[in-house]
């Protein structure tokens, strides 16, 4: 019969294996944050064209479709690069950061739409780039800290 220590060690190994897809991953390349910031610029530009110019809306729609397509391509690239995407329940430390990201992304999208609707382009485009880039930098650091906490807890 196994002792409590052995059972505890086995449970820790199982929990570590379940957490691995969330905490063991390659670091994103340096260009990913400015690239996502550039996608935000294109989104604001496309929405601005759709809402505030006499140009055919098709131009704005095409810009926004390119942003959406780029986002999908980024997801598939990340999936191929990692070999998988995490599934199942995330460790609690990581889950908190992921929920903060979701709430923050909704707020950032609302701000981007507001910028596109009311701000002049000379202000809206750099503001979109800075807002999204800063948000992604925060998320990357917060996620890495949460992943380190999980790795330490399960070591």
pTM across the whole model = 0.83
DSSP letters spanning 13-75: HHHHHHHHHHHS-PPPPTTHHHHHHHHHHHHHHHHHHHHH-SS-HHHHHHHHHHHHHHHHHHH
Evaluate if residue 115 carries a pLDDT over 70. Answer: yes
Q: Does 6 or 106 have the greater pLDDT score?
A: 106
The range of the structural domain enclosing residue 93 comes to 26-154
Tell how far CA 120 is from the center of its chain.
27
Looking at residue 55, its pLDDT comes to 65
User: Does residue 148 lie in a domain region?
Assistant: yes
Q: At what angle do helices 57-82 and 32-52 cross, to 10 degrees?
A: 160
Q: How many domains does the chain have?
A: 1
Q: How far is CA 105 from the centre of its chain?
A: 8
Report yes or no on 13 lying in a domain: no
Residue 126 domain-assigned (yes or no):
yes
Query: Are the C-beta atoms of residues 143 and 94 closer than 8 Å to each other?
Result: yes
Q: 100 lies in a domain?
A: yes
Q: Is residue 17 part of a domain?
A: no
**Within-domain flag for 1:** no
8 inside domain: no
pLDDT for position 57: 74
Instruction: Report yes or no on 15 lying in a domain.
Output: no
pLDDT of residue 56: 64
């Amino acid at each position: 019969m196994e002792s409590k220590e052995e059972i505890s060690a086995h449970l820790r190994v199982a929990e570590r294996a379940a957490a691995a897809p969330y905490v063991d991953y390659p670091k994103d390349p340096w260009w990913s944050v400015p690239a996502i910031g550039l996608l935000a610029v294109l989104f604001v530009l496309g929405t601005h064209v759709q809402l505030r110019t006499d140009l055919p809306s098709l131009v704005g729609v095409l810009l926004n479709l390119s942003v959406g397509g780029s986002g999908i391509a980024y997801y598939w690239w990340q999936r191929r690069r990692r070999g998988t995407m995490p599934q199942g329940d995330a460790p609690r430390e990581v889950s908190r950061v992921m929920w903060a990201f979701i709430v923050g992304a909704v707020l950032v999208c609302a701000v981007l739409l507001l910028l596109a609707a009311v701000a002049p382009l000379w202000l809206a485009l750099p503001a979109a780039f800075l807002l999204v880039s800063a948000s992604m930098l925060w998320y990357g650091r917060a996620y890495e800290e949460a992943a380190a906490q999980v790795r330490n807890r399960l070591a």
